[in-house]
Chains A and B, each alone.
Chain A
Amino acid sequence: MLTPESLKRIDREIAKYPADQKQSAVMAALAIAQEEQGWLSSEAIECVAGYLGMAPIAAYEVATFYNMYDLKPVGKYKLSVCTNLPCMLTGGVDAGEYLKRKLGIGFNETTPDGLITLKESECMGACGDAPVMIVNNRRMCSWMNPEQIDKLLAELK
């Protein structure tokens, strides 16, 4: 059920590991599957497991352990805001509150038009840039004051 392009990318990941250790590519393969499909359905996880020759439950364990995998559908854009202590001291919590007000949703909720899902996240390793947030697990946005947040929201269409 994954596209040939995704499988090709997964092959490149498999090549990083010894020939008898294909399972090592599972984290990357699940990330690729999620990138393609927006979230990880049980079918997608099983497909990855089958491709890597591992038990579906073993791939499912990985998908449920790491918190950047989404096991339920999310909005077109997933916005993860760090509220951990160093970020909190310089506005991370306030940025989360500001986003909730602007979007009219709470953490782990999606706007009614399906555009944005808001998540509270743990340390992203960018505390000096606080407030920080990540769009769709890929793009980190630094120094997000109200003005910058407004700009970002206007851009996410």
Chain B
Amino acid sequence: MAILGAINPMLTVGLDGDNAWRLADYVKRDGYSALRRILESGIGQGDVINEVKKSVLRGRGGAGFPTGLKWSFMPRAFPGDKYVVCNSDEGEPGTFKDRDILRYNPHAVIEGMAIAGFAMGAARGYNYVHGEIWEIYERFEEALDEARAAGFLGRNILGSGFDFDLFAHHGYGAYICGEETALLESIEGKKGQPRFKPPFPASFGLYGKPTTINNTETFASVPYIINMGGDQYLEAGKPNNGGTKLFSVSGHVNRPGNYEVPLGTPFATLLEMAGGMRGGRQLKGCIPGGSSAPVVPGPTMMDCTMDYDSISKAGSMLGSGAVIVMDETTCMVKALERLSYFYYEESCGQCTPCREGTSWLYKVVHRIEQGKGRAEDLDLLSSVTTNIMGRTICALGDAASMPVQSFIKHFRDEFAYHIENRKCLVPVDVQRAGSGFFTATA
């Protein structure tokens, strides 16, 4: 099923049939009409960018940067090669929305990228697809073939004189390639190590040419914005938080999956759509924006609405919209240990504070979890995080530090209990029952 639930959806409307991802079905849903209208009615590049600005579409990959503003940074009158790149390297733990967009509505991404190419004067694009979702990568290649055959990609699109071609590039297992400049290095056939900024990709991007990188969901939203108009798109969400957004709900809920709701929807509503808490248990904590976002205690989360501003006020980030739900059976030390291992494993090794610091973070959280923690360990962790943050080329070091800081801040007693008593506050058999693995067949 494409989507488990929605309120006033756009991106996920009409995706239920097996062939919904095909070009013919997309065209029936009004697909490629935005691109057609732009090319046939002589709408200018600046008009398209203004419409996107008006919509207050904010980057759906995690940073929430206004898309229209980003597009306006491109030197569109610059005569040489320019690129648009889609970041489908979805590897942020908790996030699995782009996979479903590519699986069920790939042509919306293609059309969005073609419109972006037109608006920014780029004739070529790449979609970088997470290597782990191979079947989706192959499907996207097939969708590209369909679009080329129908004349929506290639030379002289719809007889307008506008050329745009698009190709898929697959990753092969590196979280860091979700960072936009690491992703560019990776397309260039190198290790995915982030670049210093500035220069920003808009002036020095892929192959050294002006490049704009947006997330899959961001590009997929563009045709809908052009069709309904920026103002109406903005109204579908709330001020400063335009439109609807896909939320990936995972963890201790009855129906994990993707949900499309207007920005500003109460968290409680989203939780209810996801079937509520498993076994009617209490919400202990929630990571509202993917593993890099600070954890929010259950009661605070229940008062939040799902938009950039509300989640930021609660001390976290909306990020990619990955909502990781943890109930009372979760050992917060173990949860943090697993995240810290992930960042240690995925640090690209380029900057010393991150390479060494993520290793320290993991080792210290691990020893607390193993019942070998020392009284001074919580202060030590805090000192390591402050020595990583702001001292690295990219945000991975910060992303590794924020969970550590927030887990200790909000669940300090549980960490202290672990150090003092050398075991989990939540009994191991309770944790195990919480995962539901062995009861699945019982």
Contacts and interface: CB of A to CB of B under 8 A. Distances in A.
Given A84-B93, A122-B175, A130 B250 contact: yes
Interface string B115-149: 00000000000100011111100000000000000
A83 B350 CA distance: 26
B324 A140 contact: no
Contact of B132 (A54, A89, A124): A124
Contacts of A54: 189
Given A85-B324, A128-B257, A123 B92 contact: yes
Interface stretch (A3-11, A62-70, A71-79, A106-114): A62-70
Interface in B167-190: 167-175, 186-190
Contacts of B348: 65
Contacts of A128: 96, 248-250, 256-258
Contacts of B252: 89-90
A68 B189 contact: no
B98 A127 contact: no
A41 interface: no
B405 to A, nearest CB: 16
Nearest to A124: B132
A134 interface: yes
Which residue, of A54, A67, A127, has the highest number of chain B Cβ atoms within 10 A? Answer: A127
Contacts of A138: 134-135
B192 interface: yes
Given A98-B437, A130-B250, A130-B256, A125 B133 contact: yes
B187 A127 contact: no
Q: How large is the interface on B (under 10, 10 to 19, 20 to 34, 35 or more residues)?
A: 35 or more
A145 B435 CA distance: 11
A126 interface: yes
Interface in B330-364: 330, 334-335, 338-339, 342, 345-346, 348
Nearest to A28: B170
A137 B131 contact: yes
B169 A24 contact: yes
Contacts of A117: none
A126 to B, nearest CB: 5
A18 B207 contact: yes
A58 interface: yes
Which residue, of B130, B171, B172, has the highest number of chain A Cβ atoms within 10 A? Answer: B172
Given A16-B167, A62-B189, A91-B440, A68 B207 contact: no
A93 interface: yes
Nearest to A27: B172
A128 B338 CA distance: 18
Interface string A85-118: 1101111011100100000000000000000000
B325 to A, nearest CB: 8
B335 A146 contact: no
B114 interface: no
B94 A127 contact: yes
B155 to A, nearest CB: 15
Interface of B: 81, 90-96, 98-99, 126, 130-135, 167-175, 186-192, 207, 248-252, 256-258, 291, 322, 324-326, 330, 334-335, 338-339, 342, 345-346, 348, 432, 434-438, 440-441
15 contacts: A17-B167, A18-B207, A24-B189, A58-B190, A66-B174, A67-B172, A85-B338, A86-B250, A89-B326, A94-B435, A98-B437, A122-B342, A127-B324, A134-B134, A140-B134
Given A67-B172, A90-B436, A94-B437, 18 more contacts: A21-B188, A23-B190, A27-B171, A31-B172, A58-B189, A69-B172, A84-B93, A86-B324, A88-B335, A123-B93, A123-B342, A126-B96, A127-B94, A127-B96, A128-B258, A131-B437, A138-B134, A139-B135
